[in-house]
Amino acid sequence: MLDIIFESRVFELSMIYGWGDLNVIFAGAMESNNPNIVSTLERTGTVIQTAIDRTVDAILSNEN
């Protein structure tokens, strides 16, 4: 049973790095039963993408 658990674990990077409160957006949409998650993401997409790009740049700069 532990093998199954350890082999199927995942990490939610948006929660770890806090990319534009992406996890809050999804949680809010689910709690309010909002089917318009795409429009919400489109409004905040630039902020989220900028945060992701900064994280990737920081990781890549530390590899050298």
pLDDT digits (tens, 9 = 90+) for 18-36: 888 888 888 888 899 888 8
Does the global pTM surpass 0.85? no
Q: Tell me the Ramachandran region of residue 32: left when phi exceeds 0, alpha when psi lies from -120 to 50, beta otherwise.
A: alpha
Q: What per-residue confidence (pLDDT) applies to 56?
A: 94
Among 16, 23, 27, 21, smallest CA distance to 55 is for 16
Q: What per-residue confidence (pLDDT) applies to 35?
A: 83
Q: What per-residue confidence (pLDDT) applies to 64?
A: 63
Angle subtended at Cα 27 by Cα 11 and Cα 44, rounded to the nearest 5 degrees: 90
